[in-house]
Amino acid sequence: MIQIKEIVAYSHHGKTRSLPLKLGAVNIISGESKAGKSAVLKIIDYCFGASLCDVPEGKVRRNVAWFGLLLQTSSGQAFIARQVPLGEAKSSEAVYTLVGADITIPSGDMLRQTTNVEGLRSQLASWTGISSYRHTPPDGQTRDHLVASIRHAVALCLQSQNEIAQQKWLFHGANDRDKAQAIKDTLPYFLGAVSDEYLSQQSELKAVKAEIRQIERRNKEAANIRGEGTSRADTLLSEAKAVGLSSVSDLISWAEKVAALTAIQSTPLSLSLAEGNDATEFNRLTSIRNQLLKQQSNLLGTLERARAFEGTTKSYAIEADEHIARLNAVSVFDPNCSDHSCPLCLQVLPSESVAPSIAQIKQSAAHLGQGRGAVDATTPKIDFAIAEVETELESIRQQLGHNRELLSAVKKSNERLQLASDADTRRALILGRISLYLENIPAAINTSGQDERLQALKIQEKELETLLSNEAMQERLESCLSNVNRNVSAFAGKVKLEYSDSPLRLDTKNLTIVADTLERPVPMSQMGSGENHVGYHIVAHLALHDWFARRKRPVPSFLIFDQLSQAHFSPDSDAKAPKEKVDADRLAVKGLYGLIFDVTNALNGGLQVLITDHPYFDDDQRFKDAVVERWIDGKKLVPVDWVTVTK
């Protein structure tokens, strides 16, 4: 929930203009033309993160340095202010925000940039309760993914003077094609057709699919190793028999074949060397080679650990440098401020706050600096140790090369030794293949648990895909719209709009209202008369916000209508119009106001409505009680004594 408690304007010379509003109620600003009424909506839009400042050139824009809003949120209050663009600039990134339980409007000299527009949008989305809903376009469409934002939500809350009488579309900014498409894409989320568990279900589906792929990959690998049935085991046993490693029958069971292969793997391999001096020399050289290989393995392990430690040290140094740089940013703040002040805004923190003080941040930076110095001192020692190991390893490799040459010479000098060595090599190769096969046998022969898990995951995958499908979302959207459309018809009937005797529906594809008459569907653009267009804009937005409020959807809980009565009459034309016409128009406009009062009151504080308009009905007590200010006789949004500044 988020509503506007106060609108604030700051002059270039320290003056402040405040416009308090009532929460959960109808607020009316009535008055003459050129008093700044239409600028109110544009100020609110700008403070809610609009890309451009749409406040027109003139005294409102030239005489104001900052626009601000005091907001009431579900958890307290928030104040936001945004600087008015300077010179020919169309926007400003300078944004000031303040959050607290009960905020006092800051003075103009306190305003400074504490965030930018993107940061403002993120904060507003958080206060409103907007989650990271991501709309994925249907297959075949080229537009990018879209994440719901506060800008999409606020488009459902504003109706400017030009939009409230628009005959083709209902929503703020929908004249822009991209903005209209964004409203269509996000409206199901704001209505609640996309469930609140949608994001978690998306993540769950992603995890389920990943586990399914992992199990299927393991099963495929196991099947490849196992081969077709027992053929792989039969092949390995046949090869083992050929070199004298086994004598088992081919007719034994699968389990017995696995046991036989396991026995072969665990049998030590004896060397069948020829007798004589050459064999003795071969044994001696082989023993030396085994020792060298062991030394090489130990050195490689040492080198790997040393390099890992070196990498960890460098990573720590990089992280420490980044943390020190961030912590040193505290030097830009006032060193004389209280230690119990916010390092960012220098505001004194409450006693129960545990936020670090400036002194603590400096102490942390000094501590990191000491650790960084220790790393610098250790680095040369690590480099020296690595160099020593690499030198020793190179020596071992040279000795292995020399040993290999001697072994080859001995083998060539004795034919019997050559044959024995070849047989041993073949046996070792077969043993290696058996070992590889047996290492993967558990996954290959005991897959019942994995198969059961795979079936359960596929069932879960299907259920989640059904929940997240476009068909399911469309069904939920139609359910939401059915409830909204019921109020559209009821509200239109109360104010006696044309076609209100036919079923009415919100067309989310074309962003309009359609009356389903007996002959054919009639869109709002073909209903004729500005009174109908204004009426259906009001009716549609009231029906939507009634739904948003009752379902506690993440949409700002306010509606703003600018120049509600424009299609009926204005004070300037009253004198020229026949009395009967004026009376009929006044009755129609008072009917619209009455509907707004009724819907707002029924929501018990769940909706705030702000209306800027010309008429003042002194015979309607509810209207008079709702008027927060009346801008006549020189009273305006921006006081006339504020000095204009040329930018």
DSSP annotation string for 505-565: EEETTTTEEEEE-SS-EEEGGGS-SHHHHHHHHHHHHHHHHHHHHHHT-SS-SEEEEESTT
Say how far apart CA 103 and CA 77 lie, in whole Å.
Answer: 6
Full set of structural domains in the chain with CATH: 277-413 (1.20.120)
pLDDT digits (tens, 9 = 90+) for 45-56: 999 999 999 998
CB 423 within 8 A of CB 272: yes
Pairing of strands 521-523, 512-516: antiparallel
Contacting residues for 417 by C-beta, under 8 A, at least 6 apart: 273, 274, 278, 279, 282, 410, 411
For the ranges 102-111, 282-291, 389-398, 542-551, which has the lowest average pLDDT?
282-291
CB 401 within 8 A of CB 328: no
Structure tokens at 134: 């991501």
For residue 98, name the pLDDT band (cuts at 50, 70, 90): very high
* Residue/partner pairs of 399-407 with CB below 8 Å, 24 or more apart: 399/292, 400/289, 400/292, 400/293, 400/296, 403/285, 403/288, 403/289, 403/292, 404/289, 406/285, 407/282, 407/285, 407/286, 407/289
Contacting residues for 172 by C-beta, under 8 A, at least 6 apart: 45, 154, 155, 156, 157, 158, 159, 160, 163
Q: Report which of residues 112 and 193 the model is more confident about.
A: 112
Neighbours of 512 (CB within 10 A): 22
Query: Which of 375, 397, 248, 389 shows the shortest CA–CA distance to 310?
Result: 375
Query: Residue 275 pLDDT more than 50?
Result: no
For residue 199, name the pLDDT band (cuts at 50, 70, 90): low
Neighbours of 371 (CB within 10 A): 13
Neighbours of 522 (CB within 10 A): 18
pLDDT value of position 507: 95
Query: Residue 293 pLDDT more than 80?
Result: yes
What average pLDDT does the segment 147-174 reach?
94
**Going along 292-429, which residue ranges are E strands?**
none
Query: Residue 385 pLDDT more than 70?
Result: yes
For residue 61, name the pLDDT band (cuts at 50, 70, 90): confident
Q: What is the DSSP letter of 636?
A: -
CB 482 within 8 A of CB 193: no
362-to-324, 330, 372, 625 alpha-carbon distances in Å: 9, 7, 15, 56
pLDDT value of position 599: 97
Q: In what order do the strands lie in the sheet with 158-159?
A: 158-159, 558-562, 608-613, 26-31, 627-631
Say how far apart CA 611 and CA 561 lie, in whole Å.
Answer: 5
Q: Report which of residues 646 and 161 the model is more confident about.
A: 161
Radius of gyration of the chain (CA): 40
Neighbours of 488 (CB within 10 A): 26
For the chain, how many residues are written? 647
For residue 574, name the pLDDT band (cuts at 50, 70, 90): very low
Say how far apart CA 12 and CA 14 lie, in whole Å.
Answer: 6
For residue 572, name the pLDDT band (cuts at 50, 70, 90): very low
Q: What is the DSSP letter of 341?
A: B
User: 619 in helix, strand or coil?
Assistant: coil
Residue with tokens 């939507």: 544
pLDDT value of position 602: 97
pLDDT value of position 466: 76
pLDDT digits (tens, 9 = 90+) for 479-497: 999 999 999 999 999 999 9
- Residue spans of alpha helices (H) in 156-253: 177-191, 198-226, 231-242
Give the rounded percent of residues in the chain with a pLDDT score beyond 90.
Answer: 43
Residue-averaged pLDDT of the chain? 82
Most confident of 265-269, 274-278, 578-582: 265-269
Query: Residue 273 pLDDT more than 50?
Result: no
Most confident of 338-342, 386-390, 562-566: 562-566
For residue 161, name the pLDDT band (cuts at 50, 70, 90): very high
Query: Residue 428 pLDDT more than 50?
Result: yes
For residue 410, name the pLDDT band (cuts at 50, 70, 90): low
- In degrees and rounded to multiples of 5, residue 523 shows phi and psi of -75, 165
199-to-189, 461, 464, 556 alpha-carbon distances in Å: 11, 15, 12, 21
Q: Report which of residues 105 and 381 the model is more confident about.
A: 105
Whether the full predicted model's pTM is greater than 0.75, yes or no, is no
For residue 195, name the pLDDT band (cuts at 50, 70, 90): low
What average pLDDT does the segment 142-170 reach?
91
What average pLDDT does the segment 181-209 reach?
81
pLDDT value of position 353: 56
Query: Which of 85, 79, 77, 81 shows the shortest CA–CA distance to 60?
Result: 85
Pairing of strands 512-516, 146-147: unpaired
Say how far apart CA 567 and CA 549 lie, in whole Å.
Answer: 28
User: 24 in helix, strand or coil?
Assistant: coil
What average pLDDT does the segment 526-554 reach?
94
pLDDT value of position 313: 73
For the ranges 271-275, 380-384, 497-501, 557-561, which has the lowest average pLDDT?
271-275
Give the rounded percent of residues in the chain with a pLDDT score beyond 70.
Answer: 78
Say how far apart CA 497 and CA 482 lie, in whole Å.
Answer: 20
pLDDT value of position 547: 97
Query: Which of 584, 526, 484, 592 shows the shortest CA–CA distance to 164?
Result: 592
pLDDT digits (tens, 9 = 90+) for 437-461: 777 665 445 555 677 787 887 888 8
Q: At what angle do helices 198-226 and 231-242 cross, to 10 degrees?
A: 40
